[in-house]
Each structure stands twice: as structure tokens, then as C-alpha cells.
Amino acid sequence: MNRRRVLIDCGNTRMKWAVIEHGQWREQGSSDYADWSDLKTHLTIDTDCFIASVANTVHEQQLAAVLEAAGVVANWLTTGTEFAGVRNTYQNPRQLGVDRWMGLIAAHARTPEPVLVVSAGTAMTVDALAADGEFLGGIIVPGVSLMRQALLQGIARIAETSGHWQAFPLTTADAVQSGIVAALCGAIEQQHARLAEASSMPPQCLLTGGDAEMLLPHLSMHAEHVPALVLEGMERVAGEGVSE
């Protein structure tokens, strides 16, 4: 029987979900961990639930309690070593975040070409995937909020006022915002160039995560915004019933 599926992508500060019925994406939503009301409306006892989580233990326990109250048995996905042609070459494969693994699976399903997978969330990950599905490696840098917090905590007279991107900022707030954008875009562009050199061809670039739209206009190369990339990978795994 083709049962109804709810996919839940639990990040560090927010969660996203999707409802899949008969192979069709019916609904999508997101929230922080303070409000469970919308998610609860999609949880019924006949639902198959799949979770990819990098959230802390408290948030995972809260989610588990919500699912138990709804009579839903959860399938907590884990990072594997190989799936649908994607090969995890991390020295300790389980150490690769399950969200990154799902993003790589979705990216390889989208394109047969080399692809850079960028997730701009609390932390930003930039992962390189070869055309043959080999994960070449990736970097992790602080995201927008973490960079701003570091400056506020470490440097005197940095105001908390939000700034705007400027090519040549003339206020401290704008200088902070513009510097953060420059740093994150620089990390993406540098990895893109490295993957292009390793692949002998320009790779595609897929962006997901809460801050993706902020970065997209400032990148020097074409990139595609795919907000549900992790959920796409989860749906492929859920459809096979295995994670590796």
C-alpha cells in the first residue's frame, strides 16, 4: 500500500517538513522549535514519518514526544556509505551530517554533472560531488548569524543594528553585513573553482538553507536555489526504505 509520508528535516535552529501522498508533494512547511502546531496537523496514525536530524538532544526529544502523542512511529535516517550511486568517502562516514548526506543524494539525482552543494544555515557547508557520485569532501564555516555573533562578542563598539550589503560600506552595520556576505560567497566561489579544476569542467551549484537567498545575488557564477534539497534526498531514501 502506498502510504502517506511525512518527511522532517531538523536543522540547528529550524525544521522543515513535506507531506508526500501517492508520489506527489502535497504540502511543505517550516518553523522553529517553539511552535509545533502546524506540524502536528500533518501527523496521523497512518503516516510513515522519516526524520533527518542534526538538532540538539532537547529538540529531538521534543519531536519524539510530539510523534508519540500522535501515534506515529518515526524512522530516524542515518548517514550511509553508498546510496543510488553516491559514495561517502569521509574518513569516518557516520561523522558526515545526515543533512549533508541527503543533500548529496538529491544533488546527484538532479544532475549527472559535478555539482557543488551549499547549505547556508546556522553553519554553512560547501560539499563537492564528482560526476560519478564520489563525495570529494567539503568545508564548514560559520553562517550569517554565527559570524555576526562572533563580531559582537569579540570586538568593542560593534553595534547590534542590522546592516545592508554595500560594495563600499560607509557605516559599521553595513560593513559587518557586507563582510559576512563577502566571506561566505568567497568560500563558495573558491570551492567552485577547485571543483571545476578537479573536474575539468564547470560544475553546477545548488544552494539551500535559510540564508541561501541572501547570498545568491552576490555570487559570481550561476547557482540554483533549491530550498527543499534535503527533503528531496530524504524522499529518495524513504522510497527505497534504506539509508545506505
Of the candidates 224, 136, 112, 203, the one whose C-alpha atom is nearest the C-alpha of residue 127 is: 136
Q: Which of 32, 35, 38, 99 is catalytic?
A: 99
Q: Is 35 a catalytic residue?
A: no
d(CA 101, CA 156): 39
List, in sequence order, every residue forming a beta bridge with 4; answer none if it has no partner. Answer: 47
3-state secondary structure of 222: coil
Strand 204-208's sheet: what is its strand order?
A: 135-142, 123-129, 115-120, 204-208, 224-225
Matching residue, cell 501527523: 43
Contact 235, 105 (CB under 8 A): no
Residue 208 bridge partners (DSSP) = 119
Sign, CA dihedral 197-202-204-205, equals: positive
- Closest C-alpha to 208, from 106, 112, 65: 106
Q: Is 88 helix (H, G, I), strand (E, B) or coil?
A: coil
Angle at 110 between CA 107 and CA 115, to 5 degrees: 45
Handedness of CA 194, 195, 201, 205 (dihedral sign): negative
Catalytic residues: 99
